[in-house]
Amino acid sequence: MAWGCLYNSGPFATQTAMSSTPTHVSLAIIGGGPAGLMAAETARAAGIDVDVFEAKGSVGRKFLIAGKGGMNLTHGEPKPDFVQRYGARAKEVGAWLDDFDADALRAWARDLGVETFVGTSGRVFPSDLKAAPLLRGWVHRLRESGVRFHVHHRWVGWSEDGTLRMATPEGERAIRADATVLALGGGSWPQLGSDGAWQPWLMAQGVDITPLVPSNCGFDIGWSEHLANRFAGAPLKPVVIHLRDAMGREHARQGECVITATGIEGSLIYAFSGAMRDAIAAHGTTTIELDLAPDRTLERLRSDLARPHGSRSMSEHLRRQTGLTGVKAALLHEVLDKAQFHDVETLARTIKHLPLRLQRARPIEEAISSAGGVRLQALDERLMLSALPGVFCAGEMLDWEAPTGGYLLTACFASGRRAGLGAVSYLHPPSQD
């Protein structure tokens, strides 16, 4: 028996009449994010009747929020480097990208009338930096192609006979689908629909799942009251982060981050959040080091700080000789006592290797994305669940992660396309002749 189903109505419409008989559909897409919409577009282009079910009142809400400060659609770095951003899942995600990579995503946006450009950081943005026009054009094209949308339809698992259970404002509906694509998101931003509620329903069906954990997240450190009150929100730039992951490998990168009331976050932290999170899981805490003066060598700092400062305070001497003030100076006071702060050698070394002990990742509800989910080993190459023939998974609900910078969205699009193609091949198997 194929598992899945949907309520057959017009775009964004609901129906008040309740039926005890399950509504039959060909392909049910559950989840209206980028992965689900791409699966819908791919399957519909192959002639499959497609119904999209979305728990919220409109599709693409997280997509819109992600683009609020400038829609980072993908990244322009060479594909071999691009693929390595997926870490332990580089091989599997790389296979998805072989079918739909960053260039294909930019061409897809162009077909929707949205030109893109590569920023100075290598990130790719729509020319107007906005997500709404792209989403609006996409949904319009999907509707024109015949994709049917059903909002306020929240999937709440399967019935004993394999039909999909949909909670709606009018009550529960039963949907029977010939095939189903689940694109339900991970566990971050639950207010937008990605709440991970699907985990027990899949586990009950024998699907192997890794617990969801925060990714691209901040970390708690436990500042003094002075630093937390005075410098929360202060940017740290430029700095170089040095860390050792759970496997003992050394990492270093220059970038920017931000002090929070409880710890630290920002793009430089997000780039290594998976390694930091795993190190904390392995050892209870982990320590990173920040180079607060990446443009100066240790030798130069020693020389500059050793100059006589007369009656000037050491803090003023630090400012004049190194330019370190504000939050960077406050961080030095946070980790050094008075005697250490006045010792030139200790101060210089700490500027280049400021130790920060990370206690825990911030809650998954605050994270930009999540890791964990359906293990890729539980799926075939079409992204169909081995335990549930006819059910495909795509997007962030799969067990992979990537840093910010367009990598998350690109893999969501690519996995949606692969799941859509998988559903097509399942519903219309190639002729054996």
**In the prediction, which pLDDT does 20 show?**
61
Q: Is residue 332 part of a domain?
A: yes
Whether residue 172 sits in one domain with residue 33: yes
239: enclosing H helix or E strand: strand 235-244
Tokens of 330: 């406050």
Total number of domains constituting the chain: 2
What's the pLDDT score for residue 65? Answer: 86
Does one domain contain both 178 and 62?
yes
Q: Token digits for 175?
A: 């949907």
Span 231-261, pLDDT tens digits: 999 999 999 999 988 778 899 999 999 999 9
Enclosing H/E stretch for 338: helix 338-341
* Residues 72 and 170 both lie in one domain: yes
Same domain, 140 and 236: no
In a domain, 16, yes or no: no
Q: Are residues 298 and 343 in the same domain?
A: yes
Q: How far apart are CA 356 and CA 221, in angstroms?
A: 7
Q: Please list the ranges in the chain whose pLDDT falls under 50.
A: 1-18
pLDDT for position 192: 86
Residue 186 lies in a domain: yes
Which of 361, 392, 407 lies at the terminal end of a domain, its last residue?
361
307 lies in the same domain as 223 = yes
C-alpha distance from residue 380 to each of 171, 347, 369 (Å): 35, 55, 24
For residue 383, the model assigns a pLDDT of: 98
**Domain end (from 320, 343, 361):** 361
Position 7 scores a pLDDT of 32
355 inside domain:
yes
pLDDT in tens, 315-355: 999 999 999 999 999 999 999 999 999 999 999 999 999 99
pLDDT of residue 11: 33
Question: Which CATH number does the domain housing residue 51 bear?
Answer: 3.50.50.60
Domain that holds residue 386: 23-214+368-427
Contact 26, 48 (CB under 8 A): yes
Tokens matching residue 403: 């840093």
Has residue 132 been placed in a domain? yes
Say yes or no: 376 and 323 in one domain.
no
Of 361, 381, 400, the one marking the end of a domain is 361
According to DSSP, residue 190 is labeled: G
State the Cα–Cα distance between residues 190 and 187, nearest whole angstrom. 6
Residue appearing with tokens 């400038």: 70
Pairing label, strands 123-126, 154-158: unpaired
Domain presence at residue 1: no
Query: Are 193 and 334 in a shared domain?
Result: no
Residue 12 lies in a domain: no
73 plus 171 within the same structural domain: yes
What are the Cα distances from residue 391, in Å, to 3, 179, 199, 398?
6, 6, 15, 13
Residue 126, in any domain of the structure: yes
Cβ 143 vs Cβ 5: under 8 Å = no
* pTM exceeds 0.75, yes or no: yes
